Structure 1
Amino acid sequence: MFKTIVCVKAVPDTSSPIRVRTDRLTLELEGIPWVMNPYDEYAVEEALRIKEREGSGQVIALSLGDPRAKEVLRIALSMGVDEAVHISASTNDGMDSQSIARSLARVISDMQFDLILCGRQAVDWDSAQVPSALAEFLDLPHIGMVTKLKVDVVGRMVHALRQVEGGSEWVEAALPCVIGANKGLNEPRYPSLKGILAAKKKEIPEWGGGLPGNGAEKGELQASRLRILSLAPPPARQSGRVLQGEVSDRVRELVRLLREEAKVV
């Protein structure tokens, strides 16, 4: 039976206003709705499609974090995932990408699987490092930025179309491997009412717990090596300028602005 593991993360809804606290070290997240990382939705959908194409298989969703992670796992279950596992931590907001990947790897290394699917990056910190780091810690091939995926279960190979600078390319890797799902890979399904009701009743086992440990034992979470020095909102964008007059005058003024103010020509 082909087994796929999908790593998902709870992130703040980016359509909500997010503010920096007065300590300039943390974000004001109270009252902000949390959702599944959008790129992870593509990973979940692709895992389900692989199972449907093969006619059998198992899809297991993993999420590391506080109780908000469990709610995201229920979303994955409502979409059709077979099992979900919550890797408990007080939070993963302060964990660096390497620590998150190493903690996931410690759990996954004790599981049987044929394929690992992740979103290409999480939209909260945008580091885009966890999938490749996870592959490194598990000593597996990694293909990121994937927009099309073909899985040869019998031949134990994957063929993936990934985005690269200036275009795209087809690459292949042997199973098991780690795939970073990108926008365009598929169109994630909406959970059905039946799926939502079933997900509410589904038991989600919790592994680990407490604050991230020092990583001395296999069951412990990897301690973060990240220390935030300061957070600040991006500077306000300057309002645009509309050039008036004849076309020739506007062109000359535009060239002057690009040369003297923007300094790009």
Structure 2
Amino acid sequence: MSRTLQRLTTYGFVMIGALASIFPLYYMVVGSFQLKADSAFSGLVPRPGNLGLTNYRDVDKAISLLPSLANSAIFTLGTVVLTIVVGLPAGYALARLRFPGKTAVAAGLILVLALPFQVMMIPLYILVVRDYGLADNFLGMILPFAVNATAVLIFRQFFVALPDELFDAAHIDGAGELKTLMLVAAPLTKPAIITASVITFIGPWNEFLWPFLITKKHSMQPLAVSLGEYVSTNAATATNPYGVILAGACVLAVPVIVLFLVAQRYFTSAALGSGVKE
């Protein structure tokens, strides 16, 4: 009886935590469809007569959702691709190669994770804008995020978990390190690639500060920046300001949620793989 009670208590706490986590998302979706803002507790239950797509039309008219989404996609996908191209061989080198300073490099990656981006923002801005002249340029947005320490560590851990016999067999067959990476190791990294891609995707997709600093043309701004500027300047003039803001937030959140749901099973696969060492 006590075990059953303990199990029910555990499930109860889990359900409360899950509901507390989902509630803001639910509130955002319901509020984005409300024609008139209803902040009362009863407003949590949507009334059919107060629902519509007006808020989405208003935010689209104000900031042009499709071009802003396209800018976000270019910025984010460019960052993800460069992160994988750089992170995969870097993780392999840290896991499988022996070279002077290897421990220091791994420690440096952890140190980079501990530093907030704002600490490096001013020197990055001077370097990218003044020295390289990449203001209002997708390359200028992407470069500071092209090397992701988290992705490198994910690949490193994945390669460490692979059996040594796999690499020894490739070396016995005469394969060098590059050939071993491309033909033996890389084809096995699908779970790690997807995990690193999703984690990398979330940062640039939601990033506001760096694109805001480096882009002055509205035609170059990602959705997060366009929505932020709209909230600070024009949202108050809308019929339902909160509804318009929540509609924009929903559009910004949907791609991340869809990507996570599609790739969720690979997180489990990557976690299991990193915990097994033959």
Report TM bin, short chain. Answer: under 0.3
TM-score normalised by L of structure 2: 0.22
The structure where strand makes up a greater share of residues is: 1
Computing the radius of gyration from Cα coordinates, the structure with the larger value is 2
User: Which structure's relative contact order is higher, taking Cα pairs within 8 Å and 6+ residues apart?
Assistant: 2
Q: Structure 1-normalised TM-score? A: 0.23
